[in-house]
Every structure is written in structure tokens, then in C-alpha cells.
Amino acid sequence: MIVNIDKEICTGCRMCASICPVDAIEGKQGEVQSINEDKCIICGQCIQICSAYLSEFEEDITPVDIKLKERGMLETVKEPLFAAYNMCDVQKVKKSLSNNKLHKVVQCAPAVRVALAEDFGLELGTLTDKKLAAVLRKMGFDRVYDTNFSADLTIIEESTELVNRVNEGYDLPLFTSCCPAWVKFMEREYPELLNHLSTCKSPQQMAGAIFKTYGADIDNVDSKNVFSVSVMPCTCKKYECDREEMNSGGYKDVDVVITTRELAYLIKDMGIDFKNIEEGNFDNPLGDYTGAGTIFGTTGGVMEAAIRTAYELITKESIPNIDINCVRGENGVTKSSIDVGDMKLNVAVVSGLENVVAILEDIKNNKSDLHFIEVMTCPEGCISGGGQPKVILDKHREIAYDNRKKSIYTHDSECTLRKSHENSSIKKLYEEFLGEPLKEKSHHLLHTEYASRKEKN
């Protein structure tokens, strides 16, 4: 399993069970807990909240060096080992970096750059996009690209999909499909509503498909030699990259996913001075992005980015206010009605998976008037993902999430371009390679199908 509970360390406090949105953690108070694999959506929130750790004074327990190996971690890791953990894939990345036969490509999600610095003693929420690019290049990646680029690409496809559904009046509301834990939940619990789920792959998977096709052509390398690494705030992205349908370019879209924490392990292992490294930039053209791409990292970001583009697709006019504050949600459900030309676009932003059930039931019973719904499993969106730097104290967690969110919106406001459809590299991608949104080539590479997993109940 990707997410696990160490039976030697677990104290049975059930803090993990209190935060699990699908009741996948089982066990009595004071006894060792276990994870129901069928129910688990791999969000990693149990990892974030777990406070039971291995004491160096423990006797008759598996030695730390063996536990590190069992978890796939580097032997140089010095942080405490907690009971709830995810399997690490950093060893695979380290091995690939020493393989000169591979063309090594890396992408980084928007939430990574506002959290990574915390593992190096910098202030909570510090934005380190340029340091991040420099570190990855120093590690030995041949191309340092950005998931923000494919977030812009996702908006072009998803906004076009939304406009088509609104104009033709079918399968509404449309749900976002960026969050793999949400998708996994939908497949298992509400497969009868899968037609409402966007067919768009997530930005991670779209990027992987483009890297091994268009990107390989740009670099004049064979697609089979492209090794694609993704750095994500999310533990469920590991599951997503291994889904059998995520290989539309002929090869697995993304070869391996590591979390923000795992990247920190690797930086320290390689002796790179994160604090003082000279800043760099992501590679072009697949590293270009707009402010719309960067706000994907927080609750309401996908919705806001989509509206910025959908408004102009529908009205053929510039959106009057690019900052759509009414969709910048907190934990829970935020509903809004947006004026788009002559129509009212009814939207909802759902943060925290437990909050989506009532909406799903309304849709089943034909009681919903919504057009578009963003769903993120984690309480503040990707900034609070299971793979982000661990924050132990509640008071610090609140500050961390608030600061990460502020950094993301500041980054957006400072971007020269803030609408996905204004990204010149995205325009070039369509002109030279994809053709038009939702047409044959883009649909083949950038879209997917989801299926019922209800039989596992």
C-alpha cells in the first residue's frame, strides 16, 4: 500500500481516524489501527496529523535503518519516523539521475514551491519557485519543467468542455478531475454520476503525456528514453500515475511521483545548499505558465482559473475583474453565482471530501442547479496535501496553510499574464501539435475515462 500505519509505533490515539474523510482507518481506541485498503483514497491526511513517533529509547523494536529501508526512504534521513507514513519512491529517482541513457524530465506542482522551504528552516509559506528550479537542475535533470504549464493546458481543455456542456445542456454539473483522491472516491461511491466528471486528465498526467510526445520531439530524443518525474504535494498522485489508462502517448505518462517531503530528503542527501543556491528558471516552452496555473495549488484555484478563461470563451470579451474572490473557498462548501454575459453560471467549491456528499445526493435526486463544481479532498486544497512538509502543532498548521495560500495568490498577482489562454507556449502547443481543444489528438492524449469500482465494496 502507498499509505500505511506502522504497528510498532501506533499508539491507538485515533487522531488519524478523526481526520479520515472515508472512515478507512479501523481499530479501537488504545489499540493499533489498520487501513481498509478498499475504502482508502490515499489522501495522506492521516500522515499529516499523526503524532506517534519512534523513540530512540524504545527497546525490542525494529531498528531505524531497517525501517527506513522498508519505507523506501534514504538512509540519510534524520527526521523522526511516525506511525502513519507513505511509501517513498525517492530511491527510484536517485537511481535514474545516475543513468546517462535516460532523458530525465521533472515537473513540480504549484503547491510544492510554497511549502518546500519549510523543511530547510525558512518561514512557513515561503515562495521558492526560482530556488526550486535551480535545485532540480543541479540534481541532474535534463529538463526542469513545471506543472503550472499543464495547469494552464488543463484549463483550456476543461473550460472548453464546460462551455460545450453549458451550451448543449448535457451532463451538468461538471465536476473537476484534478484531484485523484476525489476521483477514486467518485468511482467507488458514486459511479452512477461519473458522466458528470470531467474527462480531463490531471495537470500531472497531461504534462507527462506532453513531455513524452511533443517534448521528446523538441529535444530530439526517443520517447522510450524519457524518464518523467513528478514532484507533488499529494500522496494519491503516486496511485494516479500507476493507473493503467495513463499511457495514452504509448508510454506511461509519469514514471514516478515523489512528494514535497521526499524531494527535501533528496536535496539533503545530495548535499545541496537550498538556502543559498543561486536562483534559476524553469525550461521553456514547457515551463511557461500564467497566474491561473499557479493558483491550482489552493482551494478555489481551479474554479477561478477556469472562470477567467470560460468567461472570455463565452462572451468574447475581457473579464471585468480577474480576481474572483467569491470562489476562493475555505474548508467546506462555497457556492457562487457568476455573471457571464447574459447567463448566471452557478458554481461551487468543495474543500474536504466529506463535504461533497450532500451535493452528490442532490444531483442524484435532480435537485441541483449548479453548472460547475471544484472538489479537493484535502482541507485547504493541495497546499495541505498529504505529501507536504509535516506540521505537528495545530497552531502552526493553521499559520502554514494561511501563509502558503497567501504566497500562491501573491505569485498569481505578480505574473505578467494571469489567464491560461494567454500563455503563448500553450498557443504554440496547439498550433504545432495538438490542433484544437477536445479534438482528436488532444482528446487522445489529454483525456481519459473512469470506471466503477463499486464491486470492491
Instruction: Please tell me the distance from the alpha carbon of residue 139 to that of residue 268, in angstroms, as a whole number.
Output: 11
Catalytic residue among 16, 46, 118, 158: 158
Catalytic residue among 198, 228, 407, 420: 198
Per the annotation, the verdict on 158 as an active-site residue is yes
Number of Cβ atoms within 10 Å of the Cβ of 75: 10
Q: How far is CA 93 from the centre of its chain?
A: 19
Catalytic residue among 104, 131, 212, 237: 237
Per the annotation, the verdict on 245 as an active-site residue is yes
Q: Single out the residue of 38, 36, 32 nearest to residue 14, CA to CA.
A: 32
Per the annotation, the verdict on 40 as an active-site residue is no
Per the annotation, the verdict on 382 as an active-site residue is yes
C-alpha cell at 228: 518523467
Strand-pair category, 34-35 with 343-351: unpaired
Catalytic residue among 43, 50, 178, 234: 178
Catalytic residue among 192, 245, 279, 440: 245
Instruction: Please tell me the distance from the alpha carbon of residue 283 to that of residue 202, in angstroms, as a whole number.
Output: 21
Q: Single out the residue of 301, 308, 282, 266 nearest to residue 382, CA to CA.
A: 301
Terminal C-alpha separation, the chain: 18
Catalytic residue among 161, 187, 189, 374: 161
Q: Single out the residue of 284, 302, 282, 280 nearest to residue 292, CA to CA.
A: 302
Catalytic residue among 20, 40, 241, 382: 382
Per the annotation, the verdict on 178 as an active-site residue is yes
Instruction: Please tell me the distance from the alpha carbon of residue 184 to that of residue 369, in angstroms, as a whole number.
Output: 25
**HSE-up of residue 173 (Cα within 13 Å, Cβ side):** 25
Instruction: Please tell me the distance from the alpha carbon of residue 219 to that of residue 73, in angstroms, as a whole number.
Output: 32
Coarse DSSP helix, strand, coil percentages of the chain, rounded to the nearest 5 percent? 45, 15, 45
**Placement of cell 507536504 in the chain:** 388
Please list, in sequence order, all residues whose beta carbon lies within 8 angstroms of the beta carbon of residue 1, skipping any fewer than 6 positions away.
35, 37, 40, 87
Per the annotation, the verdict on 237 as an active-site residue is yes
Active site residues: 158, 161, 178, 198, 237, 240, 245, 382
